[in-house]
Amino acid sequence: MNSLKTVLVVDDEPRTRDGVKKTLETDLSGAVRVITAGSAAEATRVLEEEQVHLLITDIRMPEITGLTLVEKAQAKGASPVVIIISGHAVFEYAHHAIRLGVFQYLLKPLEKRKLLETVEQALKLDQSRHRQQAMERMVDQTLLELQESGEGRIGEPVLKAMRYVESHLQAPLGLREVAEVVHLNASYFSFLFKEQTGLTFLEYVTRCKLQKAKELLLATALPIGEIAAQVGYLTPKYFIKLFKENTGLSPSQYRKQMSGDNGPI
């Protein structure tokens, strides 16, 4: 498992660029991998090819400013934590940096202790972002919203059906069977469920089963076939197909990615 964080240092001054690289590699050895770029164009190529966790960039460079580099990176979907370094305390730059969500604005000449403290804080922020993203990918937001608002807008028969589904995920869970549990006609139950939850009964069952599967994939070392059985799918092949259709990843890929190929979450 690779837990190294990639840091991109961008400065057209070789002395500053190499000095920051040496400081980080010496004092944060084993924690960071440092890449340098002498121009915004070079930095843009790196950002397109690498997953950069922390971007440290000079603000004044010949081609474009460091802030424009940040804007371009954000426009392309890259979201590293950003530290701006500059030889000038220019209010206009600082204001722009704040608007872009820049983590810190450091003045040259860089003081070693301050640089290291700031980088360590920035890496912690990146880690917390990673944790948050992992949680968002793990939790079905639609199910979460239903649970949070259910008591207020969902009637007792549908709530009872939802609770029944959650406690019988290993079962096939047919519409007629659950309608009988809540003492409703199957057609009326189907209409009522969709009206009150915004999901068809089958959609709700599938989301619950896949949510439980995600939890088992991350919390246990159970084989995929066993997890499929625990959430009510008789054949692993169908479970894998359904999981991929809903998450974009196979169960094995999901487990591997979410378990932290890019570091612990």
CATH code for the domain of 52: 3.40.50.2300
Q: Residue 86's domain spans which residues?
A: 5-133
**89 and 176 inside one domain:** no
Which of these three, 96, 117, 133, is where a domain ends? 133
Shared domain for 123 and 171, answered yes or no, is no
Statement to judge: residues 26 and 110 lie in one domain: yes
For residue 260, pLDDT beyond 60: no
pLDDT at position 2: 54
Q: Which residues contact 229 (CB under 8 A, 6 or more apart)?
A: 170
Residues 96 and 171 in one domain: no
What is the value of pTM for the model shown? 0.64
| pLDDT level of residue 262 (50, 70, 90 thresholds) | very low
The pLDDT value given to residue 151: 63
Query: Last residue of some domain: 99, 133, 167?
Result: 133
In a domain, 264, yes or no: no
20 occurs within a structural domain: yes
Asked if 177 and 217 sit in the same domain, the reply is yes
- For residues 116 and 150, membership in a common domain is answered with no
Is 129 found in the same domain as 9? yes
Answer whether residue 246 is part of any domain. yes
Residues 167 and 220 in one domain: yes
Let me know if residue 53 belongs to a domain: yes
Q: Is residue 168 part of a domain?
A: yes
CATH number at residue 227: 1.10.10.60
Confidence grade of residue 136 (pLDDT, cut at 50, 70, 90): confident
Q: 172 and 108 in one domain?
A: no
Given 133, 158, 184, which residue is the final one in a domain? Answer: 133
How far are the Cα atoms of 55, 103, 119, 259 from residue 125, in angstroms, in the given order?
13, 9, 10, 19
Q: Is the pLDDT of residue 227 over 70?
A: yes
Residues 193 and 83 in one domain: no
Return mean pLDDT, the chain.
89
Same-domain pairing of 108 and 151 = no
Query: Is residue 265 in a domain?
Result: no
Task: Give, rounded to a whole angstrom, the gap between the first and last alpha carbons of the chain.
Answer: 12
Q: Are residues 187 and 111 in the same domain?
A: no
Number of domains in the chain: 2
Query: Using CB atoms within 10 A of its CB, is residue 19 exposed (0-12), middle (13-18) or buried (19+)?
Result: middle
In this prediction, residues 60-83 reach a mean pLDDT of: 89
For position 150, what pLDDT does the model report? 64
